[in-house]
Structure 1
Amino acid sequence: MNKLSYVVVIVVLACLVSHSWAEISRVPLIPQANFTRTKSNVKAEKSILASKYLKETTTGPTGRYLVLHNYQNAAYYGVMSIGKPKKYFNIRFDTGSANLWVPSINCPSTNVACRQHAKYDSSASSSYVANGENITIDYGTESVVGYLSTDIVRTNNIPIRSQTFMEATSVPSSFINAPYAGIWGLAFQSIAVGNVTPPLDNMIAQGQLSEPLISFYLKRDGTDLKGGELIFGGIDSTLYTGSLTYVPVSVEGYWQFEVTSIDTNDVNLCSDCQAIADTGTPLIVVPQAAYADINDQIGAVDNGDGSAFVDCDQQSSLPDVNFSIGGTTFTLTPSDYIVEVTDDDDNVYCMSSFTYLAGYDFWILGDVFIGKFYTVFDKGNSQIGFAPAVTS
């Protein structure tokens, strides 16, 4: 894949824009940037098989967890099931949206993205309850079209009874060759299309979690067995250093909060600005004015399409980018915010992780940020917490 193709994939992905330790459940997360019917495909399929048959779980002071997989750093997904008997899907866990959807058996074979992935068949599930309301979910410039259905949903054997989700009958082309079949939204109900109750809210209401929160550990350079963790209902202090810094959610829609300031090279990029923490965005999306300022400060040259590149030989001399959140400074070093991409001729380029999307006036802190900082999404207290993630 050449440099431009990698950038297009990244930008499309960005558009899809004292705690109790008892009974915490961990979900396998698998980061991957692109997907073909080769070794990558085998990994995606094996993750489902492992969930079904291997039962690789461990119980300890922080609860149970599943073996994790890692391919690349652009998308994180895990295993879930719908129905009785269970139908398994690889699913992308996204704190930047609030609906759950998977491809439907009624999605036509002419839709390539549907044809490539597992599909839900309501006639095969004894726990299915019809709904039928037609909805459309917009992700940036693309849309997923389908209708609502209700069934039992599980991840890591946590049952969510009577969960309403969308059966997608039209899936956009950005999901062609993607390693995940659909999206599991983890944001607030106020942004859920059709006012559907999100799965996390139902988990909490049905008493499935020890605490009404989730936390993410996204490993950026893991091996095949160390991809990341999504912990439902708890926090694992072994996955971060120091203390968690919490800030209140400013608007309950996305996981939105206030950032006191962002600076680099002693240049202020924003003051009292709004940001959202979004596991469904691989990079860091900034307002357009800040995009020009920040890439100017790090010496990145715009490629004309919302991406910018630096001289790889100069990477170690680039400045840090500092985020002041809740009285704590969270720093991204050049090795955090510069992404190495390789073209078809094995030439290596160094891309800035700071990009922009027209019309957005807030910062979207995606996986580049969340991968550096363990992140807690606390619905019970309407707050979000950060701490430096462990790297070993």
Structure 2
Amino acid sequence: MKVSLLLGFLHLGAVHALWPVKDFRVDDLPSTSDIDLKSNIKNENIDTLVHKDVATSSNATEGPVFIDNVNLQYLFTDNASSIYYLYANISDSRNEYNDQFALLLDTGSSITWLYNETCTENGCSKSGVNKFDDFSDSIVPESDFHLSYTGETVAGDIVSLEENNLSLTFGNSRVEFSNLSIGLTSNSPEMFKGYAISGLLGISSSNNNDPVRNIVSQYYASNRISKEMFALFLKSNNQTITHVDSNNKEFDPLPNDFGGMVIFGAGAQNYLDSFPGKTIYTKVIDNDNAYWLINITQVDTTNSTAKKTFTFDSRGAIIDTGTTGIVLPVTDADALHESLFGNTFVTDGKGNYAFPCNTENSSIFFSLDDGQLEVSSSFFMGDSYDQPGLQGLCASKIQGIDGYNNWVLGASFLNKFYTVFDLEKKQIGFVDADVSSVILKQESILTDTSFVGSDVSAVIDPPSSSDSSESSGSKDSKESNTTSNESTDSSKSTVRSKQTHSSTILVSSATSTKTSSSSIVNSDTSSSSSAPSTESNNSKSHNVNNGTSTLIPKSFTVFMSVILSLFVCVLI
């Protein structure tokens, strides 16, 4: 199947649109008869090139302990890891309508939209795709939208959830959003054909134009998070995710299509120090389309057959979770493959490439203001070819497209890093996430004193990274301490299974009780946590037979004896 990567734009705003790719192999690659595949085998004698402040690590390193609370949402993926999506429920308070939708996470778009009941084409016709249909004739749109996907159009209505008595919740939380505007469409672009998703969740880099369309801004405006930021962790195929309860005992296994996590709020940055290596920050460039657009000051490559480093000049790059691979102008893509693989790669001349599957020591170094990011060829190596003349070659997930000046760094790039998107500071932080394993831990829900009076009965920010690793710290210790000192004893309710497009999805809901900060205590004394211990020199508590037994401190006994003596004297 021939695969081409196309980019689209929004009318009245020209917002970048995604194109997921399941298989990067194409039919018309030339034969490799003139290529010596052996020339790309690892050369142990090659000179080592030194790069300063490179965000890279060994996969043998263990990663952090992620705290599973209402601000952490699971991401799911298909069997080709070409898309990453999460589940959202939309309900109507006027009737009993409540349905769940798989929405592709897209940082390349600023609009969240989903299929309406009248959609029947392409992706809408796939089994398991839910479409919005609450049987109400009174849905009132506030405007319309038009998306152009290179010859295809997605058009529909922008609907205010609040004005139509609708609300949105994410799959494993009970945090509701009503002051959010989304799009409803009867069109499905051909690029979504074959994907069991109902639309996309767009998160742009700015809320200046319309904050009610940005879910992160609505999180913040509703006092559910204390900072407008979110983080992305995409699971790699060679990583192990261990799911445990608050006592570090094995919990329900994660579903087979678990693809990673998105974390909203200030807690997103608390995990940075739990990964090895330096966190590399870069500013987001202001642009009319609210892309997550950054400036790459220089691009270097190293390969296993040459001692030289090939260098590109400065490039603009869009960080886009909705794109599977890495997209460059064709001239850049040609030059990049040549510098990486010498004469051992092949191309169809249309922006599609393949290189030897045994490639080692080939990497791309993306220079930013604060340091370099290294991505090795294993992260952009696709499936291997089977047909005669192409054995030993694997498809490249780096593709070329004419008519587009910026680079687009999609999931193949983001798989290498834990990435923090900061709307407030207009920056992105990258830290190497090429670790062997991470832990996902069910935890008591934490609150923040500045939000205790709000209408949310759940987590504000998770603990700092110090509770996930003895040696790890926190980027923002003040906020970490604030959120850690105030925790509420909340439990995960029953985990239910929902059969959706041949996958069993675990949907956890969190419940908690709104309390004053003075009455909040930490119930998880068996696990390492950034919350202060209740143990002191004079007192401590422990659990006995699922109840609480309190050891009365000696100082308290002496104090009560004095009070009793004075009381007796008064009576006399």
TM-score normalized by structure 1? Answer: 0.77
Q: Which SS does the other structure have where 1:88 is aligned?
A: strand
Unaligned runs of 5+ in 2: 9-15, 24-64, 162-166, 241-255, 303-307, 438-572
1:255 aligns with 2:263: no
Q: Which SS does the other structure have where 1:203 is aligned?
A: helix
Displacement of 1:293: 0.7
Q: CA RMSD in A?
A: 3.2
1:199 aligns with 2:211: no
1:33 to 14, 22, 33: 22
| Pairs aligned (count) | 342
1:161 aligns with 2:150: no
Displacement of 1:263: 1.0
What corresponds to 1:298 in structure 2? 340
Distance of aligned partners of 1:391 and 1:86 in 2 relative to their CA distance in 1, 3 Å threshold? farther
2:262 to 230, 243, 265: 230
Displacement of 1:312: 2.2
Letter in 2 for 1:287: P
Q: Which SS does the other structure have where 2:224 is aligned?
A: coil
Cα deviation, 1:53-109, whole Å, max 9, x if unaligned, reads xxxxxx9857454666553321111111122343200110011111001000132x3
Q: Which SS does the other structure have where 2:230 is aligned?
A: strand
CA contact (8 A) 1:186 1:198 kept: yes
CA distance in 1, matches of 2:228, 2:207: 17
Distance of aligned partners of 1:335 and 1:149 in 2 relative to their CA distance in 1, 3 Å threshold? same
1:182 to 195, 199, 202: 199
Q: Which SS does the other structure have where 2:180 is aligned?
A: strand
2:235 to 216, 219, 225: 219
Letter in 2 for 1:339: G
CA distance in 2, matches of 1:61, 1:72: 27
CA contact (8 A) 1:32 1:73 kept: no
Larger deviation: 263-272 or 349-358? 263-272
What corresponds to 1:271 in structure 2? 313
CA contact (8 A) 1:374 1:388 kept: yes
Larger deviation: 156-165 or 255-264? 156-165
Higher helix share: 1
CA contact (8 A) 1:298 1:319 kept: yes
Higher strand share: 1
CA contact (8 A) 2:317 2:406 kept: yes
Distance of aligned partners of 1:273 and 1:75 in 2 relative to their CA distance in 1, 3 Å threshold? same
CA contact (8 A) 1:284 1:363 kept: yes
Displacement of 1:179: 2.4
Letter in 2 for 1:33: K
CA contact (8 A) 2:91 2:98 kept: yes
1:356 aligns with 2:418: no
CA distance in 2, matches of 1:268, 1:250: 26
Letter in 2 for 1:16: A
Displacement of 1:282: 0.9
What corresponds to 1:106 in structure 2? 118
Letter in 2 for 1:255: W
Distance of aligned partners of 1:74 and 1:341 in 2 relative to their CA distance in 1, 3 Å threshold? farther
Letter in 2 for 1:241: P
Cα deviation, 1:185-221, whole Å, max 9, x if unaligned, reads 01135798x9962222222222222321000001121
Displacement of 1:129: 5.3
CA distance in 1, matches of 2:376, 2:196: 29
CA contact (8 A) 1:189 1:196 kept: no
CA distance in 1, matches of 2:67, 2:347: 48
CA distance in 2, matches of 1:76, 1:263: 29
Larger deviation: 209-218 or 231-240? 231-240
CA contact (8 A) 1:101 1:165 kept: yes
Q: Which SS does the other structure have where 2:313 is aligned?
A: strand
Q: Which SS does the other structure have where 1:214 is aligned?
A: strand
Report sequence identity in percent: 25
Displacement of 1:288: 2.6
TM-score normalized by structure 2? Answer: 0.54
What corresponds to 1:173 in structure 2? 190
Displacement of 1:12: 5.0
CA distance in 2, matches of 1:139, 1:377: 26
CA distance in 1, matches of 2:274, 2:155: 38
Larger deviation: 210-219 or 182-191? 182-191
Letter in 2 for 1:153: L
Q: Which SS does the other structure have where 1:83 is aligned?
A: strand
Cα deviation, 1:317-358, whole Å, max 9, x if unaligned, reads x52211112332211112122222456999774122221222
The structure number with the bigger radius of gyration is: 2
CA contact (8 A) 1:191 1:254 kept: no
Displacement of 1:364: 1.1
1:312 aligns with 2:357: yes
CA contact (8 A) 1:269 1:293 kept: no
Distance of aligned partners of 1:304 and 1:87 in 2 relative to their CA distance in 1, 3 Å threshold? same
Letter in 1 for 2:423: K
2:98 to 81, 86, 91: 86
Letter in 1 for 2:297: T
1:375 aligns with 2:419: yes
Unaligned runs of 5+ in 1: 18-30, 35-58
CA distance in 1, matches of 2:426, 2:349: 39
